[in-house]
Structure 1
Amino acid sequence: MLALISAAARAEEATLPADAPRAEPSVEESTAPEPHPWLALGEVTAINLVVWTYDRTLGQKVWARVSLQTWKDNLRTGFVWDGDGFSTNQFAHPYHGSLYYTAARDNGLSFVSAIPFTLLGSVQWELFAETEPPSINDVINTTMGGVAMGEALYRLSSTVLDTEATGRDRFGRELTAGLISPIRGVNRLLRGDAFRQEPTPSDWRSRALAGWGSVGYLMLGDGKLLAGGKHQFFTQFALRYGDAFRGDIRRPFDAFDAHIQFTTREDSLVSHALLTGLLAAKVLVRTEQDEVRLGLSQQLSYTDTIEYEVGGQSLDVGLLHQHQLSASSKLKTVLSLKGSVLTGISSAHEGREGRNYDYGPGVGVQLRMVYARDAWDVLTLEADMSRVAVLDGAGGSHQVLTGQLQVDVPVRGGVGLGSEVNVFQHHSRFDGFPDVSKDTYELRFFLSVH
């Protein structure tokens, strides 16, 4: 694993782009920008000042009323585990971290070089922007999740930008890119990049970029799906950037997959989110029909349903195999060993902090098989087994088995009809309580647009 990380870092430093990099080699090479670490540090600090000022004044947050005494107390107390809600810790914090990351990335720093600035921004906030003791889980989620989310959003904003465009087209592109990656949008305005006409760097485009969405109905059941399921409507958006199976992987996140799902549930807008970025890859076998790679990936996962919560940050090592069945169809298989740095998972018992979920590292194995026609995933089969050792919470460990079978059939043009079945089996062993087992099933019907 260390060799793969080093290889990714060397490849990245050797070919650092002018902006978000390409997924395939290009004839025209762009010039690497001059890094500005001090400016990046200033922007990271400014982000914290702006957010804190809003929370302290307009937000009227009690925890934002910091003083020299609270700073001393935080430094003396050190890092603890907090009791914030699942969506705050597992989704909001990674997005906040993406702002720090973008501040560094947009000031000429590479993927690897931007990581310390993301960590620094998180530590700054934890020590000096809240009256509550600094949180170790916040630092991990903000840093790791912020790096993954920040790089993905940064690259997506590059695919929108066109520095040769003018008029309404230019305004629309700059606005859209700014909404995708806000710190970059602000920087482009301040530097005058948003108005300057110049050739668009060739590595701002990915040669493999596909997106699709779906809308439908789901029924979620705790052990008795059809007998007493909970009914919701949902919409989901998915994106594939680059080609993890056959594309040229020169830098981290030259290929990544992402999806996010929204439901009609009142207390939580986002129910599912997943971002998996390839950090490095080595080709083991390559023929006309087959290619096998060893890959190192970073993953941010988030699931918050009525029945359970699970999500976190992981580094995965896996074998990626693509078999070309015909000119337009292929079978893609991924077998991964998952190493969770920190996972939050729902628990039947509350820990000291009053959370309804536990925290801990974990390991797991995942198998994913996809039959695809061009960029359309027609049939998807996925199985995952993982174990989480509780570091903070009710104590003990959690074992999780998940399964997914999805069919998305093309009907006409870019429109398809599909169905999906999800199984979530959760077995918990507690130090001071009886074991708890829970099975949850989910059935979906949807209309997809590709």
Structure 2
Amino acid sequence: MEEEPPHPEDAPTVESAREEPPEAHPWLALGEVTAINLAVWLYDRTIGQKEWSRVTVDSWARNLRTGFVWDADDFSANQFAHPYHGGLYYTAARDNGLPFVACLPFTLLGSAQWELFAETEPPSTNDLINTSIGGMAMGEVLYRLSSMVLDTEATGSERFARELLGAALSPVRGFNRLVRGDSFRQEPRPADWTPREFAGWGTLGYLNLGNGNLLREPKNQFFAQLSLRYGNAFTGDLRHPFDAFEGHVQFTTRENSLISHARLSGVLVAQSLRRSDTDSLRLGLFQQLSYVDTLAYEVGGQSLAAVLMQQHQLSRHTLLKSSLGLEGHILMGISSEHSGSEGRNYDYGPGVGLEARLIYGRESWDIITLELGVARVVILDGSGGTHQVHTGRLLMDFPVVDRLGLGTELNVFQRFSRFDHFPDVKKETYELRVFLSIH
């Protein structure tokens, strides 16, 4: 349960404890966005020897005439690598004093620069959306995590290690800190670099994927997953976008695809509807980035969601959390038998969905989690039609001793596809996991 804040007469106010907003430098941010593109293009052109990087004035003119199209790149490049690249543009603006919303034009501009002038291939509509919107979510999360690592009061080897790890999490910020001399300067550490609540945990185990009609036989893999919860979306003090967010990333032993699951969900704005000693009811607007790439199916993209959240304190240490979210999918990629694009096995389109979640937990430990979701995606680029997706998730992670837990998880996926010019398709599969957890 969230601790009560100190009495105003006994402690500094929330505002005085926060980092002073830095002076905004939009022109410097613009220069850094352009420099990022130049640096990556130079690497691809010289060391990478990428054929598509051999741009000319003629290719620029051709791209401007052609305009934006849908590309056929693989799922991981479009749905994960591009949001990460967009996070670099976002950080260039964020670290130069721009607030969250004001960073969007810079991520859009950085993506448009790259699409029009750094590749000989036609500029891509899906890249522009995934890079700019996904880049804001990924960039802000990594920026805040780097703040947690940094300590401006530390010295010596500890300071060096913290600055190095912070730069690994948020490279553009790390570069800027080095250039400005912040990496060496000793000064009071801003209080809001550390959230009032934070939980991180890891799981390591074995999964069995398949036996539904998406796979001919089950596929067995080992996996490792890192999860975190920053702030408290249900009861926390939320003043800025992403003052509370959750995320996880899963790695598997599957060949040619290191990351199989990833998700970020951050609160943009929230309004408290009811609050008592044991209950909290709140309505929040979330930004979400999702990514699932398994042997059986692919699905993921950029979304906004209006979520009604309730938390009920069962006892001093146990609580029940529930939420119901109405999702607006800005752009989703989803597996398809008839994508309409050579070399691409998924469709693109917007959609709507519902997601319900129920969690029984002990303090920051989620012991039982039940999630149900449904989404309907209209195909914008592909063979035409719609996809309806049903998902379910049941996770049980029981404490064993100290911070060690033992658990199991079942994920269910169903897809019902109606194509304009092909027969309807119904696909389903499951993923069963057993794991050890460390909290």
Q: TM-score range by the shorter chain?
A: over 0.9
What is the aligned partner in structure 2 of residue 92 from structure 1? 81
One-letter identity of the residue aligned with 1:338: E
TM-score with structure 2 length normalisation?
0.96
Moved more, 217-226 or 272-281: 217-226
Q: Give the Cα separation in 2 of the matches to 1:171 and 1:354.
A: 45
Q: Is the 8 A contact 1:336 1:367 kept in 2?
A: yes
Shift of 1:350: 3.0
Could you tell me whether the CA contact under 8 Å between 2:280 and 2:312 is conserved in 1?
yes
Residue among 102, 108, 117 paired with 1:113: 102
Question: Is residue 182 of structure 2 the alignment partner of residue 182 of structure 1?
Answer: no
The Cα of 1:267 is off from its aligned counterpart by 1.5
2:292 to 303, 306, 315: 303
Q: Please name the residue that 1:37 is paired with.
A: 26
> Are 2:121 and 1:132 aligned?
yes
Q: Report percent identity of matched pairs.
A: 66
1:403 aligned partner? 392
Q: Which residue of 2 aligns with 1:426?
A: 415
Give the conservation status (yes or no) of the 8 Å contact 2:305–2:326. Answer: yes
Native 8 Å contact 1:263 1:269 kept in 2: yes
Q: Show the counterpart of 1:385.
A: 374
What one-letter code is carried by the residue in structure 2 that aligns with 1:137? N
Kept in 2: contact 1:26–1:202 (CA 8 A): no
1:254 and 1:52 mapped to 2: Cα distance?
A: 34
Q: Deviations over 1:228-269 (max 9, x none)?
A: 311000000001000000000100000000000000000210
Equivalent residue number for residue 312 of structure 1: 301
CA offsets, 1:72-107, max 9 Å, x none? 000000000000000000000000000000000001
Cα deviation, 1:14-73, whole Å, max 9, x if unaligned, reads xxxxxxxxxx93652432211000000000000000000000010000000000000000
1:167 corresponds in structure 2 to: 156
Answer yes or no: is 1:146 the counterpart of 2:160.
Answer: no
Contact 1:225 1:442 in 2 (8 A): no
**Residue identity in the other structure for 1:57:** T
CA distance, structure 2, for counterparts of residue 359 and residue 377 of structure 1: 34
> Deviations along 1:285-305, whole A, 9 cap, x unmatched?
111111101100000000000
Please point out which of 199, 208, 212 is paired with 1:219: 208
2:236 equivalent among 231, 241, 247: 247
The residue type paired with residue 310 of structure 1 is V
* Correspondence list, 1:221-300, <5 A: 221-223=210-212, 228-300=217-289
1:104 and 2:61 aligned: no
Distance 1:142 1:231 in 2: 33
Match runs of 1:48-67 below 5 Å: 48-67=37-56
CA distance in 2, matches of 1:105, 1:153: 11
Does structure 1 conserve the Cα–Cα contact (< 8 Å) formed by 2:334 and 2:347?
yes
RMSD: 1.3
In the alignment, is the contact (CA less than 8 A) between 2:339 and 2:381 conserved in 1? no
Q: How many residues align?
A: 427
* Alpha-carbon distance in structure 1 between the residues aligned to 2:66 and 2:98: 33
Inter-partner Cα distance in structure 1 for 2:357 and 2:168:
32
* Cα distance in 1 for residues equivalent to 2:218 and 2:171: 40
Task: State the alpha-carbon separation in 2 of the partners of residues 225 and 421 from structure 1.
Answer: 17
Displacement of 1:222 after TM fit?
3.8
The equivalent residue for 2:338 is 349
2:165 aligns to what SS in structure 1?
helix
Q: Verify the 8 A CA contact 1:238 1:259 in the aligned structure 2.
A: yes
Query: Is 2:325 the partner of 1:336?
Result: yes
Secondary structure of the structure 2 residue equivalent to 1:306? coil
- Mapped to 1, the partners of 2:60 and 2:337 lie a distance apart of 35
After alignment, is 427-436 or 227-236 more displaced? Answer: 227-236
Unmatched segments (≥5 aa) in structure 2: 1-12
Q: Distance in 1 between matches of 2:18 and 2:372?
A: 41
How far the C-alpha of 1:355 sits from its partner, in A, is: 1.3
**Is the partner of 1:386 in helix, strand or coil?**
strand
Q: What is the CA distance between 1:207 and its match in structure 2? A: 1.0
- The aligned residue for residue 206 of structure 1 is 195
**C-alpha distance in structure 2 between counterparts of 1:334 and 1:315, whole Å:** 15
The SS at the match of 1:228 is coil
* Higher RCO (CA-CA < 8 Å; seq separation 6+): 1
Query: C-alpha distance in 2, partners of 1:29/1:397?
Result: 47
Q: For the residues of structure 1 that align with 2:73 and 2:20, how far apart are their CA atoms?
A: 44
**TM-score w.r.t. length of structure 1:** 0.93
Q: Is the 8 A contact 1:279 1:298 kept in 2?
A: yes
CA shift in 2, pair 1:343/1:224, >3 Å: closer
Where 1:150 maps in the other structure, the secondary structure is helix
